[in-house]
Structure 1
Amino acid sequence: MSHEAPEPLTAAEWKVMKIVWRRKSCAARDVYEEAGVEHGWAPSTTKTLLRRLIDKGHLTATAVGTSYLYRPSRPAWKSLAGAADSLLDKTLEGLDGKLLAYMVQRSRLTSDDLAQLRSLLEQHPAGGDAASKVESAATSETGPEEAP
Structure 2
Amino acid sequence: MTERISEAEHAVMEVLWEESPLTAQEVTERVPADRGWSANTVKTLLGRLLAKNVIAHEEEGRRYRYRPLVARGDYVVGESRKLIDRLFGGRLTPLVAHLAERDAITDQDIAEIEALLKELKQ
Q: TM-score range by the shorter chain?
A: 0.7 to 0.9
Aligned to 1:35: 31
How far the C-alpha of 1:32 sits from its partner, in A, is 1.8
Equivalent residue runs for 1:88-99 within 5 Å: 88-93=84-89, 96-99=92-95
> How big is the shift at 1:116?
5.6
- Counterpart of 2:50 in structure 1 is 54
> Percent same amino acid among aligned pairs?
30
Q: CA deviation at 1:100?
A: 4.8
1:9 aligns with 2:5: yes
Partner of 2:21: 25
Where in structure 2 are the equivalents of 1:65-144 lying within 5 Å? 65-93=61-89, 96-100=92-96, 102=99, 105=105, 118-120=118-120, 122=121
Letter in 2 for 1:16: V
TM-score (norm 2): 0.75
Number of aligned residue pairs: 116
* Aligned Cα root-mean-square deviation (Å): 3.2
1:6-26: per-residue Cα shift (whole Å, max 9, x none)? Answer: 412111011110111111321
Deviations 1:83-113 (A, max 9, x none): 11111221133752132574xx57x98x999
Q: What code does the residue aligned with 1:80 have?
A: V
Unaligned runs of 5+ in 1: 124-148
**8 A contact 1:26–1:69 mirrored in 2:** yes
| Aligned residues of 1:17 and 1:72 also touching (Cα < 8 A) | yes
